[in-house]
Each structure stands twice: as C-alpha cells, then as structure tokens.
C-alpha cells in the first residue's frame, strides 16, 4: 500500500467516524488517477478497523453518472459495520446526501477469481446463491460530492454509507426477467419512486457480471459469501429523520428501515 493511499484513507476514515465533511483531500494524498482512488479505497477498511463483506455499485445509471461527473460505474466495498438487516433503526447524523435507493442484492455461492478471459453472464449467475431486496442510504465524505471527481469518489468508497439487506427471496428469481421487474420505494407508507431492473446497466445480472469482470482485471475477484448490490432502480428518494422507508421488490420481498436523528 502506498503512503499516499494510506494517507487518503486515514482522512476519509476520520471524517466517516466524526460525521464531518471534506472540501477536498490535501494535494499530498489526493488520488491523481482512478487507480490511485481505488488504492485508497482498499486501505479504508483497515483505517476504519472494519472488514469487507461485499461490494456495491454506484452510478450504474447514466443519470447518476452525469450527476457525479463520472463516465461509468464506481465499485465500492460493503463494510461489516455498515450493513444492517430488515427493520433496523439507523441514525441520519452527518448524512447530507439524505436519499434512499431500492436495489437488487446478490449473495455469492462460489468464488469468481481473477482470470484473463471475461466471465460470461451465465458463469457469473451460476456462482450466485441468493437474491435479496436491498435499501441503500448512501452518503459522501465530500461536501460537494457532485464535484469531487471520480478518483476522490473512488477513495470515498463510492459514496457507501449504510446498506440494509432483506431476507433472501424464495421466489423463482432465476426464471424471471430481472430487467423488466418493477421496484418501488415507500416512505411512511406512500409510494414515492418506481423503477425496474433495467435501470442498472440494462439488467442487474449484467451489472453483477460487469463487476465480476472489473474485479478480475483489478486482481480482486469475488468471493463466496460476499454480498453484491447492483445500484439504484428508479431515482434516489429524498428522506428525513423520523421516516419509515421501505424498498419493495414485489414477489422478491421488501426491506425497511426507520431513520433516527
């Protein structure tokens, strides 16, 4: 690990712990390339004293890419201390992004190690154990996350904050058309956003395959037992302390969270 990456990770970790915001990373540790941003991200779990339990994808929709000024999806790490279960109550302290996102979440059954040849979608899906409903509450350690740039957002763990994962579905998701499958977000019982699987790189299975091949190129791979959440369906929904928020994947289940102060 480079000194530059470790320095960036320590600053971001401090801001995460203290719920503070950065204007920008100091030039001495600021990642100069996307690759350096991912090096800093790799150092973040250790800086936080946490462990990696999976992966998330940010900016899997073109509207999201335009919003944060990137030209493709951004992978981030799911950290054990920031993954919650259905029915959790989560604090909103320090969260300036204040949105909720309905997502498809997969659990891996088998490793997909790095290799030169790309994985096919069939190979990737054969390595999946389960599908879960997911609800992401993202945030950034940058005050102006839309202007931070791809390399700093990669260092910032692709705007990861809280990920809420529901029970694995017992419905036949493998035989379903996930691209056409509709989703919604409800806040205090009222539907506020609708989406569908096609919102994430055309299909959640394609988003998962993209990540598997991206990680193969980076030498990371995917591992059995890891969670992978594939990005927002529909639009991010504004939230506030006191809200009860639910992500509904129809026959694939619902996951909900109560927002504290």
Which pLDDT tens digits describe the chain residue by residue (261 residues)?
A: 689 999 999 999 999 999 999 999 999 999 999 999 999 999 999 999 999 999 999 978 777 777 777 777 899 999 999 999 999 999 998 899 999 999 999 999 999 999 889 999 999 999 999 999 999 999 999 999 889 999 999 999 999 999 999 999 999 999 999 999 999 999 999 999 999 999 999 999 999 999 999 886 677 899 999 999 999 999 999 999 999 999 999 999 999 999 998
Query: In this structure, is residue 69 part of a structural domain?
Result: yes
* C-alpha dihedral sign at 90, 92, 94, 98: positive
Query: In this structure, is residue 11 part of a structural domain?
Result: no
Contacts of 37 (CB under 8 A, 6+ apart): 31, 150, 151, 152, 153, 154, 155
What CATH number did the domain enclosing 209 receive?
Answer: 3.90.850.10
Query: In this structure, is residue 10 part of a structural domain?
Result: no
Tell me which residue range forms the domain holding 60: 51-260
Q: How many domains does one find in the chain? A: 1
Classify residue 222 by its DSSP letter: B
Query: In this structure, is residue 34 part of a structural domain?
Result: no
């Amino acid at each position: 690990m480079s000194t530059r990456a470790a320095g960036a990770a320590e600053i971001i970790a401090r801001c995460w712990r203290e719920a503070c915001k950065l204007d920008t990373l100091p030039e001495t540790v600021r990642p100069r390339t996307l690759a350096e941003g991912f090096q800093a991200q790799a150092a973040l779990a250790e800086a936080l004293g946490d462990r990696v339990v999976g992966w998330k994808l940010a900016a899997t929709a073109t509207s999201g890419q335009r919003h944060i000024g990137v030209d493709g999806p951004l992978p981030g790490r799911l950290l054990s201390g920031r993954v919650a279960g259905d029915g959790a109550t989560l604090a909103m302290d320090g969260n300036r992004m204040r949105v909720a996102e309905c997502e498809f979440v997969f659990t891996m059954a088998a490793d997909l190690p790095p290799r030169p040849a790309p994985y096919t979608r069939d190979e990737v899906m054969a390595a999946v154990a389960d599908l879960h409903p997911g609800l992401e509450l993202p945030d950034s350690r940058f005050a102006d996350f839309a202007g931070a740039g791809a390399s700093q957002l990669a260092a910032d763990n692709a705007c990861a904050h809280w990920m809420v994962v529901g029970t694995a579905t017992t419905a036949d998701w493998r035989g379903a058309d996930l691209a056409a499958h509709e989703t919604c977000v409800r806040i205090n019982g009222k539907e506020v956003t609708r989406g569908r699987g096609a919102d994430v790189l055309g299909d959640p299975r394609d988003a998962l395959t993209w990540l598997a091949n991206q990680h193969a190129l980076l030498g990371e791979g995917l591992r059995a037992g890891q969670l992978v959440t594939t990005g927002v369906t529909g639009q991010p929904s504004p939230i506030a302390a006191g809200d009860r928020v639910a992500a509904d994947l129809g026959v694939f289940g619902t996951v909900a969270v109560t927002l504290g102060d």
